[in-house]
Structure 1
Amino acid sequence: MTTATKYDRRMYAIMNDRAAAPMYATATRRRAVIGAHVLLTAVGFAAWALTIFGDARWPLFAMLAVLPLWVVATGAINGATRGLLELRRRMLDERQLAERDRVHAVAHRITGLLLLLAAVGAGAAGWIGGVQVEGVVAPVLFAALTVHLLTPLWVAGLRIQDDPAED
């Protein structure tokens, strides 16, 4: 077994710091944080897409305004999962490794379904709706990549159980 590095120990301490625990102490609060994270991701993505694929520059400022809130929400989810997806394998026990594998499997199935729906939707938009599919390919692919990267975090946050109540 590989020994933990200074970086590993620091990340473990950050991910297991319970200072922000009231933010995600209950399943309802975790769902709210994940919902906010999904919403902030969608707003940030829309602002990015409007900046890149449109002529407007104001969405860039909206994206910059959303970013700090998104980072806090990401940190809250990582704190709730105690770094399940962020820590290296050597810092997790067998139960956590098994849970990480389950989270990735569920996220993979969700992402696969969303990719299928996006492909069918883009094809239908071009075939039935007369939409220039070439114009939507880049944003759809980037949205798919974004969802692919964040779905494990959302799934892990939704699967976490409440901490046992203290006596």
Structure 2
Amino acid sequence: MTARETPAPAAAPTTYDRRMHALMNRGEARTFHATAARRRLVVGAHVVLTALMAGSWGVAQAMDRTWPLFVMIGLLLPWCLATGILNGATRGLLELRGRMLDERQRAERDLIRARAHGITLRLLLGGAFVFIVLHALGDRDVTVSLSYALVVALAVHWLVPLWLAGLQARDEPAED
């Protein structure tokens, strides 16, 4: 084996990596995601909060008003809390760098990302079909709707892996 064929050594965890790992594995919020039913409830709340935030932004754009943006700002704190609970439930599976995960966790993360990619692809294909039909009918100004749909598609692409990971997370083993 030559020098070019030797694999590069794995990068050692940085201070940031250790700090994020400790943050994602804290136990204070464990009661919020201790069971599968609670995790489903948090995922559902996160989906609803995301939809409300996207809807308020869409209303602000469509009506040219600023009050829906204040609604969006008001929803930001509960949305962040739900995101933190989901990250805690998954122990930072999607947030931590690969060097902080073991082989099982990396495989699980890859599987979740692949499933999320498939879901997002189907949603984008459905959205593209709707816009093609709307454009063919000529009843709507598609450019305004398209900009909103692109922002929603970005949010869905970003959040579906977190939602799937939250739904697929396993219960913690009972402590003796």
Name the TM tier (shorter chain).
over 0.9
Work out whether residues 37 and 73 of structure 1, in 8 Å CA contact, stay in contact via their aligned partners in 2. Answer: yes
Number of aligned residue pairs: 167
Rounded to whole Å, the distance in 1 between the matches of 2:101 and 2:93 is 8
Rounded to whole Å, the distance in 2 between the matches of 1:107 and 1:134 is 27
Larger Rg: 2
| TM-score of the aligned structures, taking structure 1 as reference length | 0.95
What is the letter of the counterpart of residue 72 of structure 1? L
Deviation at 1:129, TM superposition (A): 7.0
Deviation at 1:111, TM superposition (A): 0.1
User: Residue in 2 aligned with 1:45?
Assistant: 54
Provide the secondary structure at the position in 2 that maps to 1:42.
Answer: helix
Q: Structure 2: where are the runs of 5+ without partners?
A: 1-9
Deviation at 1:165, TM superposition (A): 2.5
Residue number among 55, 58, 70 corresponding to 2:67 in the alignment: 58
Rounded to whole Å, the distance in 1 between the matches of 2:144 and 2:97 is 39
User: Residue in 1 aligned with 2:99?
Assistant: 90
User: Residue in 2 aligned with 1:14?
Assistant: 23
Rounded to whole Å, the distance in 2 between the matches of 1:142 and 1:10 is 31
Deviation at 1:143, TM superposition (A): 0.6
- 1:132-143 aligned within 5 A: 132-143=141-152
Q: Structure 1: where are the runs of 5+ without partners?
A: none
Deviation at 1:46, TM superposition (A): 1.2
The answer to whether 1:117 aligns with 2:134 is: no
User: Residue in 1 aligned with 2:39?
Assistant: 30
| TM-score of the aligned structures, taking structure 2 as reference length | 0.91
Between the aligned residues of both structures, percent identity stands at 51
Map Cα deviations across residues 107-138 of structure 1 (whole Å, 9 max, x no partner).
00000000011111122233347222122110
Rounded to whole Å, the distance in 1 between the matches of 2:107 and 2:128 is 32
User: Residue in 2 aligned with 1:154?
Assistant: 163
User: Residue in 2 aligned with 1:166?
Assistant: 175
Rounded to whole Å, the distance in 2 between the matches of 1:20 and 1:108 is 29
| Aligned alpha-carbon RMSD (Å) | 1.2
- 1:76-87 aligned within 5 A: 76-87=85-96
